[in-house]
Amino acid sequence: GPTIYLKDYQPFGFVVRDVSLRFVLHPTATRVHSRITFAPNPDATAPRDFFLDGEDLKLIEARIDGTPVTPEVTAEGLRCDVPEGEFVWETEVEIAPDENTALEGLYMSNGMYSTQCEAQGFRKITYYPDRPDVMSVFTVRIESDLPVLLSNGNKVATGEGFAEWHDPWPKPAYLFALVAGELLNLPGSFTTRSGKEVELNVWVRKGDEDKCDFAMEALKKSMKWDEDVYGREYDLDIFNIVAVDDFNMGAMENKGLNIFNSSAVLASPETATDGNFERIEAIIAHEYFHNWTGNRITCRDWFQLCLKEGLTVFRDSQFTADMRSAPVKRIGDALDLRGRQFREDGGPLAHPVRPESFKEINNFYTATVYEKGAEVIGMLKRLVGDEAYAKALDLYFDRHDGQACTIEDWLKVFEDATGRDLSQFKLWYSQAGTPKVTMSEDWDGATYTVTLKQQVPPTPGQPEKAPQVIPFALGLLDPSGKEVQPTTLLELTEAEQSFTFKGLKNRPIPSPLRGFSAPVILDRETTNEERAFLLAHDTDPFARWEAGRQLAKSALIAMIDGGQAPDAAYLDALRQLVKDETLDPAFRALTMALPSEDDLAQTFADMGRTPDPQAIWDGREAMRGAVAEVLKDDLTLLYAANTVTEPFRPDAEQGGKRSFANVILSLMTRQDNGDAARAQYAAADNMTQQLGALSALLANDLGSLELGAFADQWQGERLVMDKWFAIQVSHARPDQAAQVASDLTERPDFTMKNPNRFRAVMGALAMNQAGFHHASGAGYKLLADWLIKLDPLNPQTTARMCSAFQTWRRYDADRQGMIREELERIAALPGLSRDTSEMVGRILE
Ligand code: HT7
Ligand code: ZN
């Protein structure tokens, strides 16, 4: 397929004055009537070409100003001669939602109709200029016998077999949505700060109505927070959220009608874990916040995706930090960024936060665009300060409301609000790769000098890089553990720069990159004594956790690599920390978690070594055993002290205790043959404890009885059964993982048409590093087999899961050979989707 370039952007030749759609719903023959007023676009430069996007549509008829016309129709759209001035364009097309397994456009999921239009799904509904810079006001009439008929905006009319909706806010087609089905609603209401009452609804299928309360509360909190923190009010009479079982991603911010993967809405204490609750709260907030950052101000073209996604992720992180624990959120975000974005940035799929070319835009909804995009905004805020950030955002909303914007518009607002030149900062948007910052220090008895060197590695298509602006937060402690220099923001702009600190009595111990102030890899020579010191004394929670993580990592590397015994200093520091009652249990749980297998594999690769997945797995197992042994006299007390006995609340305080208790439980299970875990399993009245106990048992080859009981208990709950599928694959031993996954696909309740279920098995296999990379190659083959089966049905999800192979060049020649073979087998398939073909091609390059 062709490559699309940012530099080729041209405005569309026409503006759309208004859009009126009429849907006559039918599973295999839905009729879509459109009536669209076009006028010449005065801003267009090129000669006007009336080309409308359209895919998989059966054109019944087309008219201009009432007169039938015969456009030239291709697989991508249609072209037609049109009048000089304004004209009314009408079409009738037929589509088959029941046959739409790609879950893009109008499709059916368990008997209900739903849409997904971002990025380019509207063209599967009707002929239209399907690009975000074409914004218009939509009126929608839905005709169907189904009881609930929803679309964007406000409801203007309803009667026997129809409903009409009008959205007064001009929007791009990617924000269009329609839902129809036998749905039940949890109603609610919110009064905006200017006194307008908004009707709220969470719509679900029958049987799920008892799992909506948390989502509704999260929505109200989000609405309030956006008013309080960003001064943004909601702008329609009604806000609808719908839960859909078959969905490619988490959720979608359609104007006034957010559509969610049911996993991102439905929750009860019995069926959802604390992690699920937190994710739901964050996604509800994220989609709601898009109403201003994405919908009212949208993107000029899809290259600007980070304009809405980076900003909205940044906003939802701020929200979660405010609602829960800010340090825990920051550590979680750093873990996620390193686990997914650094991994992407360091391999063949690396691309800038604002890509400059693509074949299939769906492949660019990535950790780089979303999470690194959010980090870039965090850095901007750190550099200009909170007040200037607020001023710049007010200016952004003021200046660009109703527009389709670019990263240039975004940065200009900051330049105008602060007087700062952001041209160098802009490199964060155009240069791919994770900068490496090397830190060294000097002490001459009076002056302490910190030297920072930065290097941005070459990435596909970008051999040379220029230095970036890196906000580097640093604190200094004296040898007694007292902070002698509070957090100071060093602004690194050169390839190498030194910063001096005077007036210190002793050589200080630095606490670098506090709060993870920039998404960089810090390279600094240090000792385990110093790490243990920071773990004990640092005032910055991120840096403190990071010191513990480095300590764990160096101990693990020494075990895996040099066959050394578990480091005593690490175990001792861990023991101190775990028993420190002044520390948040959630923080203690995070500090006890070992670096992931993938993280360790990357660490070996960075040392110029070939990672051995089995040795890494063995090393982590041995370390867990050593931790359990060293804590063995403390475990029972720690477990009791952190077992929540009050009624379940899905908040940070209780959740933190439960997560810590589950970590302790998994250690106890190594010592007590599963007694404590079985007791927790039997007594659990919530999914966090039930799954925590099951997980502890499975990790020790114990829980087969509980696994069967779990399935019997939860057969009817799709989302809980997804957990049951996933947990078996995640806990399978390396030599069994592929077989366990393969056996699960034989079950009647496994279906590849449901992305959640497919990911539960195949996603878990890809995450089970030692299993996926087992020397037999069985993991590679099984995943490739299933990607080949899924691609004709659902290209988006297939392409996304190809990223399991992106780290292939780290491994030995045998593994590389096997992976290459699988990738080439996929690439050679006749009729392979554009999505998957682009991904496999980039990974192989
Ligand atoms: N803006 C949305 C991104 C999206 C999407 C969602 C569901 C299915 C397919 C999709 N393609 C793109 C989600 C968000 O960032 O909020
Ligand atoms: Zn988003």
Distance in angstroms (rounded) separating the CA atoms of residues 25 and 146: 9
Q: Phi and psi of 272, rounded to 5°? A: -120, 145
| Ligand 1, CB cutoff 6 Å, lining residues | 116, 118-119, 248-249, 251-253, 286-287, 290, 309, 365
Q: Which pLDDT score, from 0 to 100, does residue 200 have?
A: 99
What are the tens digits of pLDDT across the range 273-284?
999 999 999 999
Same structural domain, 491 and 364? no
**Rounded Cα gap, residues 302 and 120, in angstroms:** 10
One domain, residues 315 and 460: no
Paired tokens of 628: 């359990």
Last residue of a domain, one of 525, 545, 573: 525
Distance of alpha carbon 110 from alpha carbon 103, whole angstroms: 12
Please tell me the number of the ligand nearest to residue 119's CA. 1
Claim to verify: residue 417 and residue 456 sit in the same structural domain: no
Look at the block and give the residue holding tokens 């696994």: 707
Structural domain includes residue 504: yes
Judge if 165 and 117 occupy the same domain: yes
Atom index in ligand 1 nearest the CA of residue 294 equals: 1
Half-sphere exposure of 166 (CA within 13 A, CB side): 5
CA 260 / ligand 2 centre spacing (Å): 12
Give the number of the atom of ligand 1 that is nearest the alpha carbon of residue 290: 16
Among 120, 174, 249, residue to substitute to test ligand 1 (most atoms within 8 Å of Cβ): 249
DSSP three-state, residue 113: strand
Share above pLDDT 90 across residues of the chain, in percent, rounded to a whole number: 99
pLDDT tens per residue, range 471-483: 999 999 999 999 9
- HSE-CB for 371 with a 13 A CA cutoff: 20
Enclosing H/E stretch for 51: strand 51-53
With H, G, I as helix, E, B as strand and everything else as coil, classify residue 313.
helix
Task: List the CATH number of the domain containing 323.
Answer: 1.10.390.10
Q: Is residue 690 part of a domain?
A: no
DSSP secondary structure letter of residue 56: S
Compute how many other C-beta atoms are within 10 angstroms of the C-beta atom of residue 102. Answer: 21
* 214 within domain boundaries: no
**pLDDT at position 136 over 80:** yes
What CATH number corresponds to the domain at position 142?
Answer: 2.60.40.1730
Neighbours of 432 (CB within 10 A): 24
Q: Tell me how far apart the alpha carbons of residues 800 and 783 are, in angstroms, rounded to a whole number.
A: 13
Tell how strand 148-151 and strand 178-181 pair up: antiparallel
Given the cut 0.90, state whether the ipTM is greater than it.
yes
Distance CA 316, CA 370 (A): 11
Q: Which of 377, 368, 323 is nearest to 342 (CA)?
A: 368
Assess whether 391 and 480 both reside in one domain.
Answer: no
Nearest to 269 by CA among 211, 200, 222, 218: 211
Q: For residues 843 and 824, what is the distance between their CA atoms, to the nearest angstrom?
A: 11
Q: What is the pLDDT of residues 662-693, one digit of tens each?
A: 999 999 999 999 999 999 999 999 999 999 99
Domain-embedded: residue 751: yes
- Nearest of 139, 141, 151, 145 to residue 181 by alpha carbon: 145
Ligand nearest the Cα atom of residue 362: 1
Task: Using pLDDT thresholds of 50, 70 and 90, give the confidence band for residue 45.
Answer: confident
| Domain end (from 496, 525, 554) | 525
Is a pLDDT exceeding 80 seen at residue 493?
Answer: yes
For residue 729, what are its two tokens? 């694959």
Residues 443, 418 share a domain: no
> What spacing in Å lies between the alpha carbon of 258 and ligand 2's midpoint?
11
C-alpha span between 698 and 455 (Å, rounded): 43
Residue 480: CATH number of its domain: 2.60.40.1840
The count of domains in the chain is 4
CA distance 218 to 225: 10
Show the tokens assigned to 153.
């905006």
Q: Please, what sign has the CA dihedral across residues 796, 113, 200, 215? A: negative
Hey, CA dihedral for 214, 217, 219, 224, is it positive or negative? negative
The model's pLDDT over 169-205, given as tens digits with 9 standing for 90+, comes to 999 999 999 999 999 999 999 999 999 999 999 999 9
Which domain-ending residue is among 412, 430, 448? Answer: 430
Instruction: Please indicate, yes or no, whether residues 398 and 463 belong to a single structural domain of this protein.
Output: no
Sheet holding 197-205, edge to edge: 183-191, 197-205, 238-244, 257-261, 251-252
Is the domain of 303 the same as that of 162? no
Helices (H), 231-355: 274-289, 305-323, 326-336, 343-345
Instruction: Indicate whether 216 belongs to any domain.
Output: no
Which protein residue has the closest C-alpha to ligand 1 atom 11? 118
Q: pLDDT tens-digit profile of 775-810?
A: 999 999 999 999 999 999 999 999 999 999 999 999
Q: 241 C-alpha to center of ligand 2: Å? A: 15
Closest C-alpha residue for ligand 1 atom 4: 118
Which parts of 631-686 fold into alpha helices (H)? Answer: 635-641, 652-672, 675-683
User: Which residue out of 171, 291, 365, 759 has the highest number of ligand 1 atoms within 8 Å of its CB and is therefore the one to mutate?
Assistant: 365
Residues 71 and 25 in one domain: yes
Looking from the CA of residue 309, the nearest atom of ligand 1 is 15
pLDDT tens per residue, range 432-464: 999 999 999 999 999 999 999 999 999 999 999
- pLDDT tens by residue, 214-268: 999 999 999 999 999 999 999 999 999 999 999 999 999 999 999 999 999 999 9
Give the tokens for residue 485: 């220099």
CATH code of 845's domain: 1.25.50.10
Q: What are the distances in angstroms from CA 257 to CA 18, 240, 452, 462, 570?
A: 19, 5, 48, 40, 51
Is the pLDDT confidence value at 46 over 80?
Answer: no
Closest CA to 567 of 516, 541, 524, 532: 532
Are 389 and 472 within one domain?
A: no
> For the chain, what is the radius of gyration of the CA atoms?
27
Catalytic residue among 90, 164, 281, 287: 287
How is residue 422 written in tokens? 């952001």
From ligand 1's centre to the CA of 249, what distance in Å?
6
The answer to whether residue 572 sits within a structural domain is no
Smallest Cα–Cα separation from 557: which of 483, 611, 519, 498?
611
Range of the domain at 462: 436-525
Average pLDDT, the chain: 98
User: Has residue 204 been placed in a domain?
Assistant: no
Catalytic annotation present for 387: no
DSSP string covering 728-743, please?
A: HHHHS-TTTHHHHHHH
Q: Tokens representing 494? A: 């050169």
Looking at all shown ligands, the one closest to residue 310's CA atom is 2
User: Of 212, 239, 262, whose CA–CA distance to 110 is shortest?
Assistant: 262
In tens, the pLDDT along 53-102 reads 999 999 999 999 999 999 999 999 999 999 999 999 999 999 999 999 99
Q: Is residue 263 part of a domain?
A: no
What per-residue confidence (pLDDT) applies to 1?
A: 84
Find the 254 Cα to ligand 1 centroid distance in Å.
10
Residues 371 and 444 reside in one and the same domain: no
Can you give the pLDDT at residue 47? 84
Are residue 108 and residue 29 in the same domain, yes or no? Answer: yes
